[in-house]
Every structure is written in structure tokens, then in C-alpha cells.
Amino acid sequence: MKSIMSAIALSGTLLFSALSFADEAPLVSVNINQASAGEIAEVLQGVGQSRAEAIVAYREEHGPFADAEALTEVSGVGPATINNNRARIVVE
């Protein structure tokens, strides 16, 4: 009886852990040197359309970003925004 209860508990644990992973969306990244404002706004958390347009305008005026930290040169983009999106930001 004890082994049956253990098997049921283990099955339930495995079932619920599999369901929790099903809700997680794959992490999407964006190349900030090539993406449109719409793509940037869609992928980066805390970056809306107007901030994404400022990123693109800065890029067009000053050239490509050398690294993610260079985004702090854009008004309204600070270190917290970069840290929250580090895995999403691609610089090529």
C-alpha cells in the first residue's frame, strides 16, 4: 500500500511539473542593430513603441550599437532595462 501511494504521489508531481513547463514561452531575441521599432517593442520588456522608435532613430543617426550597454545612450533606456532584457538583446 505504501508503494502504491508513493507511485501516485510521484506521478502527480511529474504531471504537474510537466504542465508548468508547458506554459513557458521560448525566449525570443532581437538584433538591435537590424530590427524595426515594432520588433524591438515586441521583444524587449519595458520598451514600448515610442522608446523602440527612439532606439532606431539613435541607431540611424549614430550607427550600430557596439554592445547592449550602448543602449543607455538612448534617452529613457537605463541599466535596469538592459539587465532585464540581456538574454533578449543581440548585437551583430
In which residue are the cell numbers 519595458 written? 46
Residue located via cell numbers 510521484: 10
Domain ranges within the chain, ordered by starting residue: 30-90
Q: Using CA of residue 34, residue 37, residue 43, residue 47, what is the dihedral sign?
A: positive
Q: The pTM is what?
A: 0.72
Q: Are 29 and 22 in contact (CB under 8 A)?
A: no
Mean pLDDT over the full length of the chain: 86
User: Per-residue confidence at 1, pLDDT binned at 50, 70, 90?
Assistant: low
At the top level of CATH, the class of 30-90 is mainly alpha
% of the chain with per-residue pLDDT over 70:
74
